[in-house]
Structure 1
């Protein structure tokens, strides 16, 4: 729990003092819905890392040793750890309001949900718990990022005007 608090505190940008603000600076506080999505992403990343470590430790089981599956199990564990680190990096980008991080986080959550559904169909075991948990977590990330305050938060920080092209960050002509 302390680690999660430190991760969240590290991703929170300090609010600039009034003297440090520029006239055209659009500094907003992070909406609660975006903070919730960031926390869900951090938890998902940490769980993925823990599962990767457990997977690596499973290479020492008797079944893995007897079947010669030590290398594939280790590689899957390393891939899970790297994916968990990627999700945590995405959470940090979302916390800063990066539009690209929001898009990639949405794509990742939809792909993970698709993999969970494919696993359900291939395994044919009728266990919907993985799909349900993945669906709830995907909704807990995607909906806050693309509705209301979350959309405005990511729009305000990632877009810049290019000189000579005209227009505004929101796309409206002035």
Structure 2
């Protein structure tokens, strides 16, 4: 058994997995932008609680804003895993973005940030589409194969 061949194959597999397609790089950039905009929207929603009239509305708006901020931070935290080709990170990000959608709809309904939340929703949908395109799938499959 030749150890140099095995080592060369491992280097080739790692190099192929390390070459990230431009589509994945675009997706990672959009993940970071989505996370940052979520944090910004969450802060704005949280600050809008002072415009609410009843204590029940104040609590609801505060919880929505805090949830949006928290998910924005989690999205930013998971972006590096997506950049490395982690399938778990991609699935977790998809779940986080799916949770964000109803939160943004609630933010539109309870606070006066219609245009920001709408832009954020469009960006999240675009990020999800790019994240699950066939070239992106091939990258994640190759990264999982190189990790074994």
TM-score (normalised: structure 2): 0.66
Question: Equivalences for 1:3-82 in 2 at 5 Å?
Answer: 22-23=7-8, 24-25=10-11, 26-27=14-15, 28-59=18-49, 61=50, 63-64=51-52, 66-68=53-55, 69-82=57-70
Question: 1:134 corresponds to which residue?
Answer: 121
Q: Could you give the per-residue CA deviations for residues 99-151 of structure 1, whole angstroms, max 9, x where no partner exists?
A: 111222234445555x38x87xx9xxxx9x9678635642x323433334322
Contact 2:38 2:120 in 1 (8 A): no
Number of aligned residue pairs: 130
More helix by share: 2
Cα distance in 2 between the residues matched to 1:44 and 1:81: 11
* Greater RCO (Cα-Cα under 8 Å, separation 6 or more): 2
Cα distance in 1 between the residues matched to 2:72 and 2:119: 20
TM-score (normalised: structure 1): 0.58
Please, which runs of 5 or more residues in structure 1 have no aligned partner? Answer: 1-21, 162-174
